[in-house]
Structure 1
Amino acid sequence: MAFHFRFLKVPVSIDLSYWIFLLLVMGGIGGPYIESLLWSTVFTMSILIHEYGHALVALFFRAEPMIVLQAFGGRTFFNEAQTTAKQKFLITLAGPVFQGLLALTGYLLLQFNIFNSYVLNHFLFVTTYINSRWLLLNLIPIAPLDGGWLVRYILEKKFGRKGYLASIIIGLTAAAIAIPCFYFQGYHWFFIMQLFICGWHYCKLWQKEQE
């Protein structure tokens, strides 16, 4: 069961598993109901803006994008067979760029104190907080995070198969360093879990290459 809509010519599907996941993530925040609702709204908005970064560039390349929100976040699907390696790189890069711009916008609006409203300023604070931390996580060079795909595209293009193997080693190293760092920095368990999943994925890739 999923909720479907279309915006800016891009179809979006929000799976039931996303809402269950959102309840689990926001349940760990605690606090008043209104506070949880605010964080949930910003969290969902941030995912959609990030994925629309991917999707709008894919749409520009006529790659027929579709956004799916499910447990552990979102994903943009597009017709990879009709896109070049350079186009895939730009599509991947667009997500972090959109998210970075969102975090920067929230930060600048807070710094200039444009809104004389506690609610709006708190909304901007939550927006900046979530997106700046998420951007840092997402640029770690380990797939399926965007940073991992970007590093893989660059290394494969320059060094071929050796570049691909190097991207796996870089990803495993990044996961081993990032997991304890993020844990001691107090990141939410959602971000730590994503890193564990990514690290496990890379372990499987490395095992496959050794067979």
Structure 2
Amino acid sequence: MSMDSSPPLTWQFNLGRIPVLVEPSFWLVTALFGMIGSRSWQTVLSWVGVVFVSILIHEIGHALMAMSLGCDVASIRLYSGGGLTYLDRALSRWRDVAVSAAGPLTGFLFGGIMYAVNEFVPPKSYMGYVILDQLKWVNFGWGIINLLPVPPLDGGHIVRGVLGPSRQRIALWLGVITAAGVVALALSLRFIYIAFMFGMFGYQCWQALQVTRDIKPLKPVKVAEAEPDALARGWQALRSGHESEAARLGHLALSAAKPGEESNAARDLLAWVALAEGNARAAVSHLEKVEPPQAARPFSLAMAYEAAGLPDRALPHALAALEKERTEAVAALAIRLLVKAQRLDEAERTAREFAWKTAAKRDALLADVAVARGDFGAAAALHVSAFEAAGRAEDAYQAARNHARAGQGERATEWLKRALEAGYDDFETLGQEPALAEVRSVPEIAERLARRDKGAA
């Protein structure tokens, strides 16, 4: 999953190489659940902290097992009182079972440690006992519930993996029956939240039954015979915007490839598929498996590292790519990374010396260099030149933005009008740009934006 798709106010941090994202809904739902039967705000606060730590440890259990089986973890995401661990690839049946089981087992281990703490180093305060009780309940109570054979719980994933693709309907029927039993028990005990949750799970299983068909085993077919020219067709699918088909063909090509050049070419395709899907971590993982490592395509590595937020690692590969692939895409990437590294003279020299097909691309990149130097007037002039050469609305908008940042309000207004006339339509970005706050209040601009808002409504 791409991190760019995260909702506002999402908290992001790293555990080693694993990105962790905590959505606002996680805190809200956890706090609401903690308020049920709570006596004080302190117990609600401790409950939120306990759930956060426990679910994170649970997801780390999934992640560590996946990593031990050769997978990379794209991210861990906590949301609405639960969590998910995203891997860089699909796992085989029994490995998926092992990863599903690792989360609850890690929680049981952590809960056991809490029992030992309670036994040998008992807390000395009331809140200490409360926190220990909460830790034991979440890690053992929720862990046992999570092992019930109801998708999407871990127990449901385990059962579906054990039964295999030829018995998926049995797994779903087991989920429906188990969910119904839990709902009945929860209602009798007046556990309304649990009844609602398992009622929803049971309904989802019932819906899945309407469309799920068991897969009959097929006789093995040689991949190379089944999908000729898989690699070339995969690139064609990717260029046409069919990422899922490109991924399928890429994996087929990899499975049929000989070690070395053929397998490296398949991994390069899979890396670009991952980039198209917004999964930079998976792209890096594919490229780091190229053998020998120096055989990886420098441009692919540079793009993957940049997308993963590692510009320092991307820059050497981009410069190496520029020596081998004198294309505009490679040159633009190298200049962009040089600007980020504040190697501005080198970035400017590269932009001026490269043989661009049009001057517009060169001027837009030189404008980025000028912005990095704080010369907004020069940047505005370069974007004006780029707009006059190619007529791109984005260049007109950037000209307006940099005129405004240079304190040239009238020029900024003029060029924002030209951007709108040229078809600039990223009104969210325009509405949030602080440099254009005064320009947005100009009557003619304000009227245009108001008309657009009414049209959108």
Tell me if both proteins adopt one fold, taking TM over 0.5 as the criterion: yes
Residue in 2 that maps onto 1:201? 204
Structure 1 residues 63 and 100 mapped into 2: Cα distance closer, same or farther (>3 Å)?
Answer: same
Structure 2 contact 27–48 (Cα < 8 Å) conserved = no
Deviations 1:17-48 (A, max 9, x none): 22222232223243211111111111111111
Residue 168 in structure 1 maps to residue 143 in structure 2: no
Residue in 1 that maps onto 2:78? 69
Residue in 2 that maps onto 1:120? 128
Residue in 1 that maps onto 2:15? 7
What is the aligned residue count? 203
Aligned with 1:19 (options 27, 31, 56):
27
Q: Report the Cα distance in structure 1 between the residues aligned to 2:31 and 2:179, rounded to whole angstroms.
A: 26
Q: Report the Cα distance in structure 2 between the residues aligned to 1:31 and 1:42, rounded to whole angstroms.
A: 17
Q: Report the Cα distance in structure 2 between the residues aligned to 1:164 and 1:79, rounded to whole angstroms.
A: 24
Q: Report the Cα distance in structure 1 between the residues aligned to 2:103 and 2:209, rounded to whole angstroms.
A: 27
Identity %: 25
Within 5 Å, which residues of 2 pair with 1:12-161? 12-65=20-73, 66-81=75-90, 83-110=91-118, 112-118=119-125, 119-156=127-164, 160-161=165-166
State the AA in 1 paired with 2:19: P
Query: Please, what is the CA RMSD of the aligned residues?
Result: 1.9
SS in 1 for 2:134: helix
Unaligned runs of 5+ in 1: none
Unaligned runs of 5+ in 2: 1-7, 214-457
Structure 1 residues 43 and 186 mapped into 2: Cα distance closer, same or farther (>3 Å)?
Answer: farther
In the TM superposition, structure 1's runs of 4+ consecutive aligned residues that sit over 6 Å from their partners are none
Q: Report the Cα distance in structure 2 between the residues aligned to 1:128 and 1:186, rounded to whole angstroms.
A: 22
Q: Report the Cα distance in structure 2 between the residues aligned to 1:104 and 1:28, rounded to whole angstroms.
A: 26
Q: Report the Cα distance in structure 1 between the residues aligned to 2:53 and 2:189, rounded to whole angstroms.
A: 24
Structure 1 residues 125 and 172 mapped into 2: Cα distance closer, same or farther (>3 Å)?
Answer: same
Q: Report the Cα distance in structure 2 between the residues aligned to 1:116 and 1:16, rounded to whole angstroms.
A: 31
Q: Report the Cα distance in structure 1 between the residues aligned to 2:187 and 2:53, rounded to whole angstroms.
A: 25
Q: Report the Cα distance in structure 2 between the residues aligned to 1:16 and 1:206, rounded to whole angstroms.
A: 33
Q: Report the Cα distance in structure 1 between the residues aligned to 2:204 and 2:89, rounded to whole angstroms.
A: 21
Structure 1 contact 11–67 (Cα < 8 Å) conserved = yes
- Which structure dedicates a bigger proportion of its chain to strand? 1
SS in 2 for 1:20: helix
Higher mean Cα deviation, 26-35 or 166-175? 26-35
SS in 2 for 1:6: strand
Residue 188 of structure 1: CA displacement? 6.7
Structure with greater Cα Rg: 2
Residue 116 of structure 1: CA displacement? 4.5
Structure 1 contact 80–88 (Cα < 8 Å) conserved = no
Higher mean Cα deviation, 97-106 or 134-143? 97-106
Aligned with 1:180 (options 180, 184, 190):
184
Residue 185 of structure 1: CA displacement? 4.3
Structure 1 residues 102 and 33 mapped into 2: Cα distance closer, same or farther (>3 Å)?
Answer: same
Structure 1 residues 116 and 137 mapped into 2: Cα distance closer, same or farther (>3 Å)?
Answer: closer
- TM-score under structure 2 length normalisation: 0.42
Q: Report the Cα distance in structure 1 between the residues aligned to 2:94 and 2:16, rounded to whole angstroms.
A: 24
Structure 1 residues 188 and 5 mapped into 2: Cα distance closer, same or farther (>3 Å)?
Answer: farther
